[in-house]
Amino acid sequence: MLNGKKIVLGVTGGIAAYKSATLVSKLVQKGADVHVIMTASAQQFITELTLQSLSKNPVYSDTFDEREPSVVSHINLADLADLVIVAPATANMIAKMAHGLADDMLSTTLLATTAPIMVAPAMNVHMYQHPAVIENMRILSSRGVSFIEPGEGLLACGYVGKGRMEEPESIVQIIEQFFSEATSATSNKPRLLEGRKIVVTAGGTIERIDPVRYITNDSSGKMGVAIAKAARDMGAEVVLVAGHIDVTPPADIHVVQVQSAQEMYDAVLELWEDSDIVIKAAAVADYRPRKASDRKMKKSGDTMSLELVKTVDILEQLGLRKKSQFLIGFAAETNNMETYAREKLARKNCDLMVANDVTSEGAGFRSETNIVQIYDALGLVEQLPMLSKEEVAHRLLTITAARIGGAHS
Ligand code: PMT
């Protein structure tokens, strides 16, 4: 199961660091290619040489120790990983991860990777129960980091309680299960949308005030990009019309980059006739400045007014033009979710409306997860719990495929 899997193991400074030797050894025996990064504190507990000998790969601890001139080490490790696991993870490293600190080789690599991340905490029972640690773990969970719960028992500090790093044998089993699920998710994913042409919009539009200022919103593009990826995995031919996004779409997805609502409208309209499904996950500005100044506006009085005019409602325009296309909108709401979502569905002539309460923790803008309710003209189709945006995308497209009759023959 682990044959050829590239696993980056981060070892931080707790007494459980000694267990990392067994963990490396067992992963290597299972065929994994293990690359270890140690923090300076970890080196107080176990030597680089031990982990290098067991992994048969160089061990990294210094961000500036660039051994191979052709690559930047932390980016190289971040990119090569199929999985990054931090075991043991101290309260300090968990806090750094939660707050995006990058002040050593491990935290920098963790910030740079797009691979799945697992964390096996190990610390004193009171530290593990401290509100700050709990909050940091909650933040990381909401971003998709998975935790391997510590066991209970006698801790090295003398206390009895929860905080002992899970045993290496169990961690290896969890990793094997992770790869087994990931493999079956990709290889057995039915190609329900084979031959279908799908346009997905993602991100926020940018409405210019002048050459250096603009109006935008909090959309990161994660939801739209997740839909584009899931549609590709299900066999569809995907075009992603992207406003301002913070994530990099995969290289094999065709991206049309736009800025304003008008540009997004023009791009989508060009693709419209030829599409089977259009999904509008983008957060489009409802208003734009009446006139964008072509020079930087100068500061003058104590107040200034900006006259805004309505942008084109892209979804509504598509709804008016709908023939055979299946049209899906998203509704970003803060209250009365069902009422507003169903009103938008009807007014914009959509087949499905995906409503998210963007004030809920773990839903809406920027988060790795979303909590959505999917409506059609008759009412609620499906109410999903908090799921990764990838899983939300997959569920939405499965419903869509069923409704349009599956793949094109
Ligand atoms: O990008 P992320 O950070 O991952 O966040 C995801 C998200 C919160 C942006 C996404 O889940 C979402 O809710 N997208 C829709 C945001 C939005 O603009 O909602 P709305 O209720 O204002 O608009 C309803 C629908 O009309 C949307 O499909 C929107 O794309 C569309 N619309 C709105 C205005 C306009 N001028 N033209 C449009 O097409």
User: Is the model's pLDDT at 30 over the cut of 80?
Assistant: yes
Distance 204 CA to ligand 1 centre (A): 8
Distance 268 CA to ligand 1 centre (A): 15
Atom of ligand 1 nearest to the CA of 315: 39
pLDDT in tens, 186-228: 666 689 999 999 999 999 999 999 999 999 999 999 999 999 9
d(CA 11, CA 35): 11
Arch. (CATH architecture) of 192-404: 3-Layer(aba) Sandwich (3.40)
Cα dist from 71 to 10, 79, 116, 372, whole Å: 20, 11, 22, 41
Ligand 1 mutation pick, 313, 326, 330, max ligand atoms within 8 A of CB: 330
pLDDT of residue 66: 82
**Which of 326, 401, 339, 325 minimizes the C-alpha distance to 373?**
339
pLDDT in tens, 382-409: 999 999 999 999 999 999 999 998 777 5
d(CA 167, CA 241): 46
Among the four given CATH numbers 3.30.1330.20, 3.40.50.1950, 3.40.50.12160, 3.40.50.2000, the one describing domain 6-180:
3.40.50.1950
Instruction: Note the Cα 96 to chain centre separation in Å.
Output: 19
pLDDT of residue 24: 98
Amino acid identity at 105? M
Atom of ligand 1 nearest to the CA of 370: 11
Ligand 1 mutation pick, 315, 336, 338, 353, max ligand atoms within 8 A of CB: 315
Atom of ligand 1 nearest to the CA of 226: 4
This prediction has a pTM of 0.63
Find the helix or strand (DSSP H, E) in which 162 lies. strand 160-164
Residue 375 pairs in a beta bridge with 353, 380
Domain ranges of the chain: 6-180, 192-404
Phi, psi (deg, nearest 5) at residue 241: -95, 110
Distance 145 CA to ligand 1 centre (A): 26
pLDDT of residue 73: 87
Residue 215 pairs in a beta bridge with 207
pLDDT of residue 186: 60
d(CA 39, CA 56): 19
Residue ranges of alpha helices (H) inside 12-99 are 19-29, 48-55, 73-80, 91-99
Strand segments, DSSP code E, in 334-395 are 352-357, 369-370, 372-376, 379-383, 387-388
Residue 157: active-site member: yes
Peptide bond into 88 cis (omega under 30): yes
**Active-site residue identified among 40, 157, 346, 380:** 157
Q: What is the mean pLDDT of residues 39-54?
A: 98
Asked if 370 and 386 touch (Cβ cutoff 8 Å), the reply is yes
